[in-house]
Structure 1
Amino acid sequence: MNIIDQLSLTAQKHPQKTAYVFQDSETTYLELEGMISKFASSLQQLGYRKGDHIALALGNSPYYVIALYGALRVGAVVIPVNPMYTPHELDYILKNGDVKGIITMDMLMEKFEAIANQLTDVKHYICCDTGSSRSFDDSSVANKMKSFTELIKAGSLGVETPQLRDSDTALILYTSGTTGKPKGAMLTHQNIYSNAKDTADYLTINGEDRVIAALPMFHVFCLTVSLNAPLMNGGTVLIMPKFSPQDVFKVASEQKATIFAGVPTMYNYLLQRAAEPTADFSRIRLCISGGSSMPVALLKNFEEAFNVRVSEGYGLSEAAPVTCFNPLDRPRKPGSIGQSILNVENKVMNEFGEEAETGEVGELAVCGPNVMKGYYKLQEETEMALRDGWLYTGDMARMDNEGYFYIVDRKKDMILVGGYNVYPREVEEVLYEHPGIAEAAVIGAPHPETGESVKCFVVTKDPALTEDVLLEFCKAHLAKYKVPSKIDFLDELPKNTTGKILRKSLRDKVNQ
């Protein structure tokens, strides 16, 4: 079974049930199934076949849902892309990912036009109408542009779906790499189906649930927990274009939402508005938190303010993503990421490659049908991550005597900005592209709203170089959440005897 066939079965069983709500407009499972089929048939008419790579650069909308499942139905490999990325960031992913077609919004086309000459393998830019007044008649890629809406209109319900094997790649999720270049984690149809099913079963997500999708759909957390899990069980997805506390409360109240999933930053913003009359979570039966560790004080205060249980879990893109959640039928342990979900096994490994003793800190490793098949075109990195059937996460953890896991430290040097992963090397690479930079080092600094922010230390070749100039340079090359919040100028960076930059000394400087 795969997520596409499961969605078709759900549509057959519950044709008139509401699949999703967007801007107060409801769409049934029968209507969704029809649009997916029509879009898939139009993709086939354009020449897309099983194994072709199609990128999605879209915000949260019905467009995303239809495009995702439509592309999967023809057997394409879908590459979700953060629509906030700059042309500089998009260029690498689209070329490395061998992308043949791009589905995006008209308002984002300027980004793709800027790099179109380098994207020689791209055959089509399928544009979703968001009300942009711009004409694309004079666009450099006008001959490659297709209308998303027109493709659905022209499509046929009789699409022929190729045979999809469990081991076939369904998604390639690009994660920030420690080398500065993103790595494409290949998730199979079995990976995404099994994790959606096992997560739904573990958290009892069912056909009566109405799930708020405020997390970005290009992120696998939202894809699995807020989209695939409810849709495969006949639930209703409440699509939000973006997160805002007031809109979440409005949707929760008016649409009678039962589940909310978010990162700790979102819960912090919601808690700050708890005293307002519109802060209504009265029908929410479960809140799900992931992306980064939730401070225990925040968890307790949120539960007290809204009288709702928060189940904190853990996951990573390479595991589709969920491996642990705090169970609903047993006591929840604040500060813990919970226990292994159904059909997934977690264990802590010591430095000798053996399973650690209870309470001993080691590297968290994961095994199960949700674990990726490898990194795209990166055999060496794949062999380092996948060993003896286990995915080594790089996160340091411990397990107590009841099988609850606790993350002790994150992947080395990784910065978490509002739930988004930022690797220092990625920012440093951009800084080094500036001609006035001699040396650069990036660390995470505490931030009251986003958990962490990006802080830079630089040594310059040009004494006249200013922070404002460097920040503007970064904004042109990095997504907003990766842009440094502060840049300090030093005469030299602290190093050890081998010349390695001592990040700990820089962190100590920040914490003084």
Structure 2
Amino acid sequence: MNLLSQLSLSAKTHKDKPAFIFEGKETSYGELDVLISKFAAGLQKLGVKKGDHLALVLGNSPYFVISLYGAMRAGATVIPINPIYTPDEIGYILNNGDVKTIVTLDVLLPLFEKMNDVLPLAEHIISCETPPSDAGSGLDVSALSISTKLKSFTSLLATSVSEPEEVIQSEEDVAVILYTSGTTGKPKGAMLTHKNLYSNAKDVGSYLKMNDADKVVATLPMFHVFCLTVSLNAPLISGATLLIVPRFSSAEVFKLIKTYEATVFAGVPTMYNFLLQHEAGDANDLQSLRLCISGGASMPVALLKGFEQKFKVVISEGYGLSEASPVTCFNPLDRPRKAGSIGTNILNVENKVVNELGEEVPPGQVGELIVKGPNVMKGYYKMPEETTHTIRDGWLYTGDLATMDEEGYFTIVDRKKDMVLVGGYNVYPREVEEVLYNHPGVVEVAVVGVPDPNQGEAVKCFVVLKDQSLTEEGLKAYCREHLAKYKVPSSIEFLEELPKNTTGKILRRALKDQVLQK
């Protein structure tokens, strides 16, 4: 069994049920299955063979869903790419990933025109039409030098047979290559097999009790592994309905949840913060939700409690990473949720906390979180040394520092690489951030380590204020009340907003680079 066979089963069982709703239009499971097959057949007609690499440079839309499963049904390996990346960033992934076929929006064609001379492997560019209001129709395609490579998504479907040639695929074949965000050095391509993706989607769906009555808000970026498994794969193999949101907007999310009586919402902490700060939001807007899921970054406890108090829903926090397809831990639904914890092992996955020698440490002690299970990647694409360093004796070394309590609940302390060493003392940015998030005048905060001639490193804070009358010295005094002296920030800088990636995760690395470049 894999995602494709399970989706076909969903199509037979729920033929007339909506698989997804996008901008008010419903597409049934039966219709989706036909579209996937037609796209697969169209790719095969173009010469796409088993193992060929196909990139999706798309946002949240039916195009993404159909292309993802259609490409896999044709035997291709899919490489999702953030459509707002720069030409250099996209070009690196396309070349490093040996991409032969690209599926993208017509509004992005000028970007690929600029990159044409550095894309020798790209044989086909499949263009997805956008509405005229999105400026997709004003482009003279025939004038582009890439016009010989262009194919229309709509035409491809219209001229394809409904049944593609069957491709025999092993569970160990690579289904998707996900490029990590590359906070240090170039992005690495995590190779996820059919087994990796299916096992995690099945286990997450089972753990979260997803079923055909669920309506899941898909507002996380589909090219990101969090959405891919939790808001796309798991719901579809469970027979649920996706409510596809093109881009996150607090007003749109509130409206969608209320209109369709959504039951599951998954987001990153920043999304929850935006919803909490939204002036028009109230508890009635979210009363249909049975489950709120947070991941992608640690959620400040003050934010979690503030959101739950206002909207009368419980947020269950989990943990994952691209290399693990991604979910490894989740707060159980049948036992008390622990605020600040990422929960316990999900089905079929084992987590443990180890020291520098790889030895498990006692409960409560900080160490590196490592993971084992059927969800762990095959390795990094064309990077055998990195693979050997990251996967040892079957265990995936996450690079995250964590603790485990006596009941098996894990808590992320911080990224190993983000820890600040002040005069020989370890300072975990999250600990300082948690204190400042408790201040009523603070909206967002990020902490980084910066060079210091006396202490080696010093703690620097970047803060977005709700109360503009607050001063740097006032916040330092507040920190001194709650933190040991060496953990108190040496400087606090106020910003109008913090840099974030497309999932809403705050980019500490960008802030640190900004300091170092001054």
Change (3 A) 1:480 1:329: closer
> 1:122-271, aligned counterparts within 5 Å?
122-131=122-131, 132=136, 133-177=138-182, 179-271=184-276
Which residue of structure 2 aligns with residue 90 of structure 1? 90
Whether the 8 Å CA contact 1:4–1:73 is kept in 2: the answer is yes
1:458-506 deviation digits (Å, cap 9, x = unpaired): xxxxxxxxxxxxxxxx9xxxx998795798788x99xxxxxxxxxxxxx
Whole-angstrom CA distance in 2 between matches of 1:36 and 1:412: 41
Change (3 A) 1:488 1:12: closer
Whole-angstrom CA distance in 1 between matches of 2:21 and 2:372: 35
Whole-angstrom CA distance in 2 between matches of 1:48 and 1:12: 27
* TM-score, normalised with respect to structure 1: 0.82
1:12 and 2:12 are equivalent in the alignment: yes
Whether the 8 Å CA contact 1:337–1:406 is kept in 2: the answer is yes
Q: 1:448 aligns with which of 464, 486, 490?
A: 464
Q: Which secondary structure does the structure 1 equivalent of 2:417 belong to?
A: coil
The aligned amino acid for 2:462 is: P
Which residue of structure 2 aligns with residue 374 of structure 1? 379
Change (3 A) 1:7 1:488: closer
More deviation, 261-270/480-489: 480-489
Unaligned residue ranges in structure 1 (runs of 5+)? 417-421, 425-440, 450-473, 494-512
The aligned amino acid for 1:294 is: M
The aligned amino acid for 2:298 is: S
Deviation of residue 308 (structure 1)?
A: 1.1
1:306-342 deviation digits (Å, cap 9, x = unpaired): 1111100000000000000101100000010000100
Deviation of residue 444 (structure 1)?
A: 8.4
Change (3 A) 1:188 1:486: closer
Deviation of residue 359 (structure 1)?
A: 1.2
The aligned amino acid for 2:14 is: H
Whether the 8 Å CA contact 2:229–2:325 is kept in 1: the answer is yes
Change (3 A) 1:85 1:303: same
1:241-267 deviation digits (Å, cap 9, x = unpaired): 000000000000111100000000000
More deviation, 345-354/217-226: 345-354
Whole-angstrom CA distance in 2 between matches of 1:176 and 1:287: 25
Q: Which secondary structure does the structure 1 equivalent of 2:307 belong to?
A: helix
Q: Which secondary structure does the structure 2 equivalent of 1:291 belong to?
A: coil
Deviation of residue 351 (structure 1)?
A: 1.7
Whether the 8 Å CA contact 2:270–2:505 is kept in 1: the answer is no
Which residue of structure 2 aligns with residue 117 of structure 1? 117
Which residue of structure 2 aligns with residue 430 of structure 1? none
Q: 1:347 aligns with which of 344, 352, 356?
A: 352
Deviation of residue 178 (structure 1)?
A: 5.6
Whole-angstrom CA distance in 2 between matches of 1:444 and 1:49: 51
Which residue of structure 2 aligns with residue 364 of structure 1? 369
RMSD: 2.7
Whether the 8 Å CA contact 2:182–2:188 is kept in 1: the answer is yes
Residue-pair matches, total? 444
More deviation, 268-277/187-196: 268-277
Whether the 8 Å CA contact 1:274–1:305 is kept in 2: the answer is no
Whether the 8 Å CA contact 1:315–1:322 is kept in 2: the answer is yes
Change (3 A) 1:10 1:115: same
* TM-score, normalised with respect to structure 2: 0.81
Which residue of structure 1 aligns with residue 395 of structure 2? 390
Change (3 A) 1:331 1:489: closer
Change (3 A) 1:274 1:307: farther
Which residue of structure 2 aligns with residue 3 of structure 1? 3
Q: Which secondary structure does the structure 1 equivalent of 2:142 belong to?
A: coil
Q: 1:285 aligns with which of 277, 281, 290?
A: 290
Deviation of residue 290 (structure 1)?
A: 0.2
Q: Which secondary structure does the structure 2 equivalent of 1:211 belong to?
A: strand
The aligned amino acid for 2:106 is: D
Deviation of residue 161 (structure 1)?
A: 2.5
Change (3 A) 1:58 1:481: farther
Whole-angstrom CA distance in 1 between matches of 2:463 and 2:232: 30
Whole-angstrom CA distance in 2 between matches of 1:375 and 1:61: 28
More deviation, 480-489/61-70: 480-489
Whether the 8 Å CA contact 2:296–2:505 is kept in 1: the answer is no
The percent identity for this pair of structures is 59
Whole-angstrom CA distance in 2 between matches of 1:486 and 1:312: 27
Which residue of structure 2 aligns with residue 329 of structure 1? 334
Which residue of structure 2 aligns with residue 107 of structure 1? 107
1:273-310 deviation digits (Å, cap 9, x = unpaired): 26546960010111000011111111111112111111
Unaligned residue ranges in structure 2 (runs of 5+)? 420-428, 431-445, 449-456, 466-498
The aligned amino acid for 1:446 is: F
Change (3 A) 1:312 1:179: closer
Whether the 8 Å CA contact 1:296–1:335 is kept in 2: the answer is yes
Whether the 8 Å CA contact 1:55–1:102 is kept in 2: the answer is yes
Whether the 8 Å CA contact 1:249–1:279 is kept in 2: the answer is no
Change (3 A) 1:489 1:195: closer
The aligned amino acid for 1:262 is: G
Q: Which secondary structure does the structure 2 equivalent of 1:407 belong to?
A: strand
The aligned amino acid for 1:37 is: S
- Relative contact order (C-alpha < 8 Å, sep 6+): which is higher? 1
Change (3 A) 1:335 1:177: same
Whole-angstrom CA distance in 1 between matches of 2:267 and 2:58: 19
Whole-angstrom CA distance in 2 between matches of 1:488 and 1:128: 37
1:298 and 2:316 are equivalent in the alignment: no
Which residue of structure 1 aligns with residue 47 of structure 2? 47
> 1:72-87, aligned counterparts within 5 Å?
72-87=72-87
Q: Which secondary structure does the structure 1 equivalent of 2:201 belong to?
A: helix
Which residue of structure 2 aligns with residue 409 of structure 1? 414
Which residue of structure 2 aligns with residue 30 of structure 1? 30
Whether the 8 Å CA contact 2:371–2:396 is kept in 1: the answer is yes
Q: Which secondary structure does the structure 1 equivalent of 2:177 belong to?
A: strand
More deviation, 38-47/347-356: 347-356
Change (3 A) 1:349 1:266: same
Deviation of residue 413 (structure 1)?
A: 3.4
More deviation, 169-178/190-199: 169-178
1:378-431 deviation digits (Å, cap 9, x = unpaired): 000000000001000010111000000011111403999xxxxx9x9xxxxxxx
Whole-angstrom CA distance in 1 between matches of 2:174 and 2:514: 44
The aligned amino acid for 1:379 is: P
Which residue of structure 2 aligns with residue 400 of structure 1? 405
1:189-223 deviation digits (Å, cap 9, x = unpaired): 00000000100111111111000000000001001
Whole-angstrom CA distance in 2 between matches of 1:480 and 1:407: 15
Whole-angstrom CA distance in 2 between matches of 1:146 and 1:323: 39
The aligned amino acid for 1:338 is: G
The aligned amino acid for 2:2 is: N
Whole-angstrom CA distance in 2 between matches of 1:411 and 1:171: 27
Q: Which secondary structure does the structure 2 equivalent of 1:448 belong to?
A: strand
Whether the 8 Å CA contact 2:217–2:245 is kept in 1: the answer is yes
Whole-angstrom CA distance in 1 between matches of 2:405 and 2:514: 41
Whole-angstrom CA distance in 1 between matches of 2:178 and 2:230: 16
Whole-angstrom CA distance in 1 between matches of 2:512 and 2:336: 41
Whole-angstrom CA distance in 2 between matches of 1:278 and 1:329: 24
